[in-house]
Chains A and B, each alone.
Chain A
Amino acid sequence: MAKKLMKGCEAIAEAAIQAGCRYFFGYPITPQNDIPEYMSLRLPQVGGCFLQAESEVAAINMVYGAGGAGARVMTSSSSPGISLKQEGISTIAGAEVPCVIVNMMRGGPGLGNIQASQGDYFQAVKGGGHGDYRCVVYAPSSIQETVDLMPKAFDTADNYRIPVIILADGLIGQMMEPVELHMNPNPVLPEKPWAAQGWDPKGTRPRAVINSLYIETEDLDGLMTRLNARYDVIREKEVMVEKYHTEGAEYILCAYGTVARVCKAAVRILEENGVKAGLVRPITLWPFPTKEVHEVFAQESVKGGLTVEISNGQMVEDIRLAVNGIKPVEYMGKGGSVIPSAEDIAERIMQMRRA
């Protein structure tokens, strides 16, 4: 299919439909309203269902109900709404129900602002809701990449029976870019014999109980063992990372999402000034590309790194854990939706070089 100029939110919504998503439950919040708006028109056309819930709390519980019933289901929101969904996300993780959650991050804490931000990294990657659980977190840096990741997001959710988060910033949702959608009018979806769908007492399928309550210690321990084994496989198989000009580089920039694009421009500026710089861009924030980041920094040529974020410094903690002290890692960025320019980033590397 030829490329089409599309707004990020609409492209994501259409990509989800092409990935077989037929159910969407959400509540309006800027800057992601184009997703529910698009879904409200499109889903009925493909035999699906869009429902505007009374709150994000209700929306995520509808997602739990629909995912538990075997459907490919999605919700989207932005930071304050994602906070409200945390009880449900924890429930969904504990009940091993697949679903996809899009967070078009805006500035926080509290009501913050409605500009792009990366302030929800901790919430998405380190938990968010209560209890011991993980979500797979994808952090696309362009509309095309988001569209490409949607089928993968739904497949990953189904394969591992895990909630998957698309962690994007408001810029991805609001900008327009040429994209190529992968049209798939009749997606083949996996069987889900574990789902609630009406039980035949004479059949072979066991009765479905979609549940996150394990009142006996041994039983909860059993869930934890099962989840941990699954998380290990995900860490092994699902890491995605982009390495840009990292080979033989002197300085390594680390960034995800739209800021990573600014960092690429900074790499080019530095190269024009005779400085070998590169960028490591985690595409999965969980599982985190710990090994890959470490390998880049372990190169003899590397003198140090700089993590750039639209936050007060969150991913930098995971970068430092990955680098494990073998090279210095500095942080650059601001909360409050201030995006550093490529020139500022390049200048900061020059300063590190002079120091």
Chain B
Amino acid sequence: MATVFKKTPVLTDVPFHYCPGCGHGIVHRLVAEVIEELGIQEKCAGVAPVGCAVFLYNYMNIDMYEAAHGRAPAVATGFKRVHPDKYIFTYQGDGDLASIGTAEIVHAAHRGEKITTIFINNAIYGMTGGQMAPTTLVGQKTTTSPLGRDPEHCGKPIRIAEMLSTIEGSAFIARCALNSTPNIIKTKQAIKKAFQAQIDRKGFSMVEILSPCPTNWGKAPGEAMQWLEDNMIPYYPLGTFKEV
């Protein structure tokens, strides 16, 4: 019988711990498949964040680090400077990258650090129980914006892909979404391009991925996908913002 599907060996056999309908598991698989397809498993390491994806180091069949909250780009920089011929990616949530770790991500891009960042924008702090993130939409209710995010009080959501694309050192910056099969396929293509930019030593690369958090959005998985499509995509346009 012909094999039509096989789990990539870049994922371990440890079962994911994510909630039903969570986007993290989809993105883990896409990253692992890209690493397999590019044939770089033995030359690639990853940095897990503090956030729901903290156990990424149990799931990826490559050498891994666990970084303190927001510091993954600095940790990846240390690895890359020691092993310039190897590849490394960071995997970060929006609290991790767009709040506590803004200095690290901006300066990794600024240095043109030859690393790849996978940025999961779920408009919320998933792990700590649904607090407001810098990416939380205006009016969105969270446990620390119980009446909805008020831009007068705490500003409007930050657009990371647009911001990093203005930085000279960035080589590939895109925003994708997990709301449909075509968009998931596009996400994988973008991840591949991001790794390719690192392989070609072009500079810093990042893919921002709009991803559902049904649990903390208080929605069923199907509803969450619809909410992402109806609310997040209009504010966070999809596309490639930079490709050198």
Question: Which A residues contact B (CB, under 8 angstroms)?
Answer: 23, 25, 49, 51, 53-55, 57-59, 61-71, 73, 87-88, 91, 95, 196-201, 207-213
Contact = CB atoms under 8 A, between A and B. Distances in A.
A211 B57 contact: yes
Nearest to B113: A51
A42 B93 CA distance: 38
Given A61-B74, A64-B75, A212 B42 contact: no
Binding site secondary structure of chain B: helix
21 contacts: A25-B78, A49-B82, A54-B103, A54-B106, A55-B103, A58-B107, A59-B74, A64-B65, A65-B82, A66-B79, A68-B75, A69-B83, A70-B82, A73-B82, A196-B65, A197-B86, A198-B83, A207-B61, A207-B63, A208-B63, A209-B65
Interface of B: 9, 41-45, 47, 54, 57, 61-68, 71, 74-83, 86, 103-104, 106-107, 110
Given A64-B71, A91-B67, 6 more contacts: A62-B78, A91-B68, A196-B79, A197-B45, A208-B64, A209-B66
B71 A58 contact: yes
B77 A51 contact: yes
Q: 3 smallest A-B Cβ distances: which pairs? A: A65-B78, A61-B74, A66-B78
Contacts of A210: 63-66
Nearest to B65: A210
B43 A61 contact: no
A176 B94 CA distance: 49
A64 B103 CA distance: 17
A208 B46 CA distance: 11
Contacts of B83: 69, 197-198
Given A58-B107, A198-B43, A207-B62, A51 B81 contact: yes
Nearest to B69: A87
A91 B74 CA distance: 13
Contact of A213 (B42, B54, B107): B54
Given A54-B103, A64-B78, A66-B81, A209 B71 contact: no
